[in-house]
Amino acid sequence: MEYISDIAFSDAVKKVQETQGSRTAYARMETAGGWRSEVDTELSDFLSNQDSFYLATANAKGQPYVQHRGGPPGFLKPIGNNQLAFADFSGNRQYISVGNLSENNQAFIFLMDYARQTRIKIWGTAQVVTKDPSLLQKLVDPEYHAIPERIMVFTVKAWDVNCRQHIKQRYTAEQVKQITQPLKDRIAELEAQLEK
């Protein structure tokens, strides 16, 4: 029987899991439903807050490459039951991911939310789209000042929420500002009272 997690749990991986003592737990996970292959509410909600992720591709020879992608919160958007898309903004102009996808459409997205100590892994395929103005309009935030060069459409084959262990909690400057602003306001209020 095939399982969604077989995309990552190859025979070689399962053999290592067996020798390391974790295969039984993962076999139970597989039979209980395991990983998901559709973009559901949980994944959509998670994506709506993310302003960063890593896209992994490989060339025809299998040489892997990981590229950071960033944008406004929620820029990686669901566009169907099993598809995500994002506007790919102008960057360093090396085009390694684009070149890799031209000869090998296998791709992987890794999302990390340090504040919530959550990571999501998504396996699938990706394609570069250069001529779809209506989709591009749905993906671009006019308040975000960057030049979109293309669209990347990612077809989800499997995704999983990974364990929280070893994720060190970190916050963006904007999150720190939101957390500390009430404290700053209270300090200003108390200082004003002291002045009187």
* Domain region containing 1: 1-34
Are the C-beta atoms of 4 and 34 separated by less than 8 Å?
yes
Q: Considering its fold, how many domains does the chain have in total?
A: 2
Q: Do both 12 and 82 map to the same domain?
A: no
Q: State the Cα–Cα distance between residues 3 and 145, nearest whole angstrom.
A: 42
**Residue range 137-142: mean pLDDT, rounded:** 92
What pLDDT score was predicted for residue 33? Answer: 79
pLDDT at residue 101 is higher than 90: yes
What pLDDT score was predicted for residue 175? Answer: 86
Compute the mean pLDDT over every residue in the chain, rounded to the nearest whole number: 93
Which pLDDT band holds residue 166 (cuts at 50, 70, 90)? confident
Q: Do both 2 and 92 map to the same domain?
A: no
Q: Do both 118 and 140 map to the same domain?
A: yes
pLDDT at residue 167 is higher than 90: no
Amino acid residing at 112: M
Q: Is 184 within the bounds of a domain?
A: no
Per-residue pLDDT of 15-54, as tens digits, reads 999 999 999 999 999 988 789 999 999 999 999 999 999 9
What pLDDT score was predicted for residue 31? Answer: 87
The closest alpha carbon to 87, from 95, 74, 76, belongs to 76
pTM score, two decimals?
A: 0.88
Q: Do both 11 and 77 map to the same domain?
A: no
pLDDT at residue 110 is higher than 90: yes
What pLDDT score was predicted for residue 107? Answer: 98
Q: State the Cα–Cα distance between residues 171 and 196, nearest whole angstrom.
A: 36
Per-residue pLDDT of 51-67, as tens digits, reads 999 999 999 999 999 99
- Exposure pattern of 113-127 as b/e (b: 16+ CB <10 Å)? eeeeeebbbbbbebe
**Residue range 138-144: mean pLDDT, rounded:** 92
Q: Do both 111 and 132 map to the same domain?
A: yes
Angstrom distances, CA of residue 4 to CA of 21, 110, 126: 21, 17, 18
Which pLDDT band holds residue 159 (cuts at 50, 70, 90)? very high
Q: Do both 53 and 29 map to the same domain?
A: no
Q: Do both 63 and 150 map to the same domain?
A: yes
